[in-house]
Structure 1
Amino acid sequence: MGANGESGGTTVLDDDFAEFSARVRGAWKRSATFTLSAVVTSLVMLMVSTMAVGVTRYVVVPRGPASLTTDLAFDYTTTAPTARASFAAVKFANVEPGEGARILSPKQTFDVEVELVVPESEHNANVGMFQVNAKLLTSTGQKLLERSRPGMVTYTSREVRWLKMLTRAPLHAMGMIDERQSVRVAVIENYKEDAASPFTSIEVTMKPHAGSEKLPQIYEARATIHLSMSRFASALYFYPIASSLILIGALWSSSSAVALVCLLFYVLIKGSNMDETKTQPPVTLNQKSKHAGAIADAIDSMDSTLSAHAPEQVNATSILDHGLRHRGNPNGSTS
C-alpha cells in the first residue's frame, strides 16, 4: 500500500502545496492585472480630462479680446455734443467670417462703458452732474437700445489740489504727468446681442443737468465693449494655464479614483469566483472505482436478466440500482 501511495497517487502534503501554489499564482495574476489596468485607466482618464477641459474652454471662454474700444469725437457746436463711432472694423474674433457686419456672436451678453478724460480745471470742478446718453445702432442706423446715465467729475478742494501740485511739481515740470482724471460711466449693462439685428455702432450724447448749460471739457473720449463673463469664465480667460491645470488635475483625480475603486471591486469579485471554482473538491480515485464497479455489476446483472426474461420486461434503472447496492454490500444481503 505504501508503494501504491507513492506511485499511484499523491500525498496530502502534495495536495496542500499544490493548492497553496495555485492561490499564490492567482493572487499574483490579480495584482498584476489590477496594476496594469490601473495604469491604463489613469492614462485614459487623463486624456479624457484634458479633452473635457479643452471643450469647456472652447465653449465658455470667448476667443480673441474680452473688450473692444473705439474713440469718440464729440461735436461741441451744439448744446448737446454728440459722437458716433462704429465697431465694425474691430470685430471680436469669435464671429464667423460669413456673418457680415456682425461684431458679436448672437446671444452674447456685453456691457458698454463710456470714458471721458477731463482736465482738473476750475470749470470742470464747477460743472457738477451731467447726463450721458447712449444708443446702440445697426449698420443701417436702426436703434436697438437707448440708455442714459449720470456722470460727474470727481470733486477736489483747492487745498488738496495745491498739495498735489507741490508733491508732484518735479513730475509736472518734466511733463511726465498732467492734471487730468478719467470719468467712467457704465451706460449699458447686460445687453444680449440680437440674432436678427446685429449691433455695429454707438451714438453718445452729453447733456447738462437741469438748470445748467455747463458741460465738462474733455481731452479725449472712448467707448468700450466688455463681454459679460461669469467668474468661472473670467478665471479661464485671464488665467488660462493655471485654471486649465487645476481643472485637469481635479477631473483626473476624481475620475481616476472612481474608476480604480470600480476596477478593484471587479478584480476582487472575479478572483473570489475563480477561487471558489478551483476549491471545489474533485472526485477521488476510490469514488471513481466504486462507480465504475457499480456500472460493471449492473452490466453483469443485465446479462443474467436478459437471459431469463423478455427484453421488454427489463428495467434498466432497477438493474443499475441493484448494481450499486451490490457494491455497497459485497456479502450479497439485501434489505
Structure 2
Amino acid sequence: MSAPATPTADPVGYRREAVEAWLAAHVPALRQPLRWTRLEGGHSNLTYLLEDADGQRAVIRRPPMGDLLPKAHDMGREWALISALGPTPVPVPAALGFCDDPAVTGAHFYVMGHIDGHPLYNADDARRWAPPPLRMTLSHSFIDVLADLHAVDPDAVGLSDLGKKDAYIERQLKTWYRSWNASIEGAQLDDPRAHALQAYFLAHTPDQGPARVVHGDYGLHNTLVGADGRIAAVVDWEISTLGDPLADLAYALNQWAQPDDPPAVRGNPPTAQPGFASRAELADRYAARTGRDLSKLDFYIGFNRWKSACIVHGVYARYMEGKKSTDGVDMAGLKRGILQSLAQAEAAVERLERR
C-alpha cells in the first residue's frame, strides 16, 4: 500500500473504541492493541493501516465523511468483489471482515489483508518502484491480471447480481451523454463532436459477448506492484460492475501512456518512461491469452475517450459554477483535456472506418 504517515490515536471517521470492539468480535486474528496509520490514495476513502500487537498488518476502509451520492464509495461492493475473487487467479487482498452496521462508526467499513506493494501514479513512482529491469515483467503481469479477471464467470463466483449484464455500452452512452448535455451551461463549453460521436457509437455498438466483471478504473494507480515487478493486488473496486470486457480493456490501454505520446495534459504518467510494453503489445498479449476478437478494439478505444471527455466536462462545469474551489486547479488544462479526448475519440473512429 502507499507509504504510511505517522500513527494516530484519533483516526478520522472512526469511533476507535467502538470499531476496535467490533474488530475484537469479528476479526479475532488481529490481536489488540492496534496501531492506526493513515494511508493516502483510494478515491478519498478513509483508509488506515492497522498493525496489531504481533506486528500483523491489515487495512480498514470506509467512505469519506459527509453526504455522498447513493452509489458513491460503495464499501459493500468492494467487499463483495474481493470476497468473491479471493479464490480466483485475480490477486486481491484477503477479505477479513465487513461491518454493515452504521451505528458502529457512522458508515459501512471493511477490513482486508495488507499487501506489500505500491501503486504507480507518476514517473517518480515508476522510477522508485518499477526500475527498468522490471518494466516488461510489470507490463505483462498488468495485462495478464486483466485477462484473468475477464476469464471469471460472475455467476460461478456469486457475482451475478453485481449489475445488469446486457447493453453495457448502450447504457454508458446514454448516461454520459446526459451528463454532457446537463453540463453544457455550467461549463460554458459545448462541442459538436460530443454529439456526433455519441450518435456514431450508438449506431455501431458491437454485439456484446458474455458479461464479465469490469473493474471500471483499471490502471497502475489501482494496483499494488510487488518487489518482483508483478501485480500483487488489484484494489479500489467501488465502481466495478458487470459488462463488456473489451470496454474495460480499452480503458486500461487508454491509461497506458507511451514515450512517443504527445505530452500528457495532466501529470507525468508512469508508463511514459522507457522500458514498458507498448499498447499494441499489451493488446496482442490479451488477445492471445483470452482468444477474444479485437478487430473492433478502436470502437472501444474511441468510446472510452469520449466517455473521459464527458466525465471531465462534468467536473469542469462544477468548477466553473463555483461548486468546487479552483485553488491550484489547472482550469485551462482541464478544458484542453476535454477537447483532446474528443479528438482522440474521433481519431479512433477514423481508424475503425479505414479497416
Question: Which has the larger helix fraction?
Answer: 1
After TM superposition, the score normalised by the length of structure 1 is 0.17
Q: Which structure has the larger Rg?
A: 1
Question: Which has the larger strand fraction?
Answer: 1
Higher relative CO (Cα under 8 Å, sequence separation at least 6) belongs to 1
